[in-house]
Amino acid sequence: MSPLLDSSSPARSSWDELVPLMAAIAPGEQIRLSDALLELHSAWRRRDTDPSGLVETFLLNRRRLQRFDYLWAFRLRRRLEAGWQVRIVTPGSTQVFPLDLSWPSLHQVLSAARREVFEQGEADWSEIVAFIEPLD
């Protein structure tokens, strides 16, 4: 088991240092999917911590694309309502989610991005990139 997920590990105490680090990701910076982000998301889920500053970090990951989480969508929507947009880039397209995004359409577009990657034979989730940025 990863030290990040093992509650008995001394590395677990570094979680408080990781939170501000991950929350400080600059607007417009691209977030690539990775096992590290998935681990952070799992650690957050175990701790039941408020992720309001971390939504950029786990905008996308394997599980959220396969099983939509409405609580996660609500937190993302709050960020969108605050004047941000979400841009999802896959190998074949770019999709922008504007402020008027509804939960069903978010789910549909994320599912379409997942299908697109699989249909192209891309097993590498790092091919999907998320940008969180202020609206132009």
The most distant pair of C-alpha atoms in the chain lies apart, rounded to whole Å, by 45
What's the pLDDT tens digit per position in 36-66?
344 444 444 444 444 444 333 344 444 444 3
Mean predicted lDDT score pLDDT of the chain: 48
d(CA 34, CA 41): 11
Q: Is the pTM of this model over 0.75?
A: no
Tell me the two tokens of residue 117: 């990657």
The string of DSSP codes covering 45-85 is HHHT---TTTTTTTSS-HHHHHS--HHHHHHHHHHHHTTEE
